[in-house]
Chain A
Amino acid sequence: NFQCCLKIDEISATSDVFIRKKDAEQHAAKLALEKLGIQPVDDATASKQEGKNSRDLTEEEKWQALKDRLCTTFSEKFLLSNCPLVAHFTAAVQRKGVNYGKVPAAVLSAYDNKIVSLCKSINKNSGKDLALSLQLVLRAAKSCSLLDSPSDSLWIGKKEPFSEETKEELIKKFTGKENDAMEIESCSFQAVYIPCSSEKSVESLTMRIGPQEHFMDVMAYHLGAGDSSHILMSRTLKKAPLESRLY
């Protein structure tokens, strides 16, 4: 049996006891929403509010919706409003060289639920095929006038650079620090390394992430990938600890 305690800033909500971990988490989330005074909206109402359901859109409208969503993820308003992708954009504005301000396309195609669902509406196989959803996102980005994704590149940025204010806000939001020194301490996490050759053995791996490093870059090093844009990530693994993914 599972019980979940959800903490958001000063608010905490403890669920009833459930057989499934997922149900405990959902119940804790429901209680937290009630405490926060947020009224959950069911899917049908949400679709009505958003206008057309993505299934009702024409092919062209689906592509436009995907391009619009990609542009939204780069908008300063979106990034500064508790966006779950903030760590990736913080790394983007600290990256040096040609990929400054860019995020790996796979981050957007895997982590943003709205993008995931728009890709599925364009091609239902993209839900299972990570390379296909990446391909759809890149195609949309490369044809979008506001975004910058050079040919043969797996990175997406926006043509107009982030303002200094946004850069500072992103760093402050992520680190809780006022300056851009990224003085957060090093951290490490455990991973399981699964070689593609069955002749090699599965290994436990400890990854150390320095104060100025981003976990995707460290992972790219361990995977022998050129850079973090070459990493594909799975959807979250069912029956595994929260947010576990295969990279």
Chain B
Amino acid sequence: PKSIINKKYGSKAQYITTDV
């Protein structure tokens, strides 16, 4: 799924990953 998002939206997609 991530590669599809990246291909379709590029830098518009912002991943904010937090250590929980």
Binds B, one of A53-61, A68-76, A79-87, A198-206: A79-87
The reply to whether the CB of A40 lies closer than 8 angstroms to some CB of chain B is: yes
Given contacts A1-B20, A26-B2, contact A8 B10 (CB under 8 A): no
Taking a contact as CB atoms closer than 8 A, the residue among A2, A9, A86, A87 that contacts B17 in the complex is: A2
Cα A8 to Cα B10 with chains together (Å): 10
Taking a contact as CB atoms closer than 8 A, the residue among B6, B11, B17 that contacts A21 in the complex is: B17
Residue of B nearest to A83 (CB): B10
Taking a contact as CB atoms closer than 8 A, the residue among B5, B8, B10, B13 that contacts A86 in the complex is: B10
Q: How many residues on B have C-beta within 8 angstroms of the other chain's C-beta atoms?
A: 20
Residue of B nearest to A2 (CB): B17
Contacts of B6 in A (CB 8 A): 84
B18 to chain A, nearest CB (A): 6
Cα A233 to Cα B3 with chains together (Å): 19
Cα A89 to Cα B3 with chains together (Å): 21
Which residues of A does B touch, CB under 8 Å?
1-9, 17, 21, 24-26, 28-30, 32-33, 38, 40, 82-84, 86-87, 113, 242
**What are 12 A-B pairs at a CB distance below 8 A?**
A1-B19, A3-B20, A4-B15, A5-B15, A7-B16, A8-B12, A9-B12, A40-B4, A82-B10, A87-B11, A113-B7, A242-B15
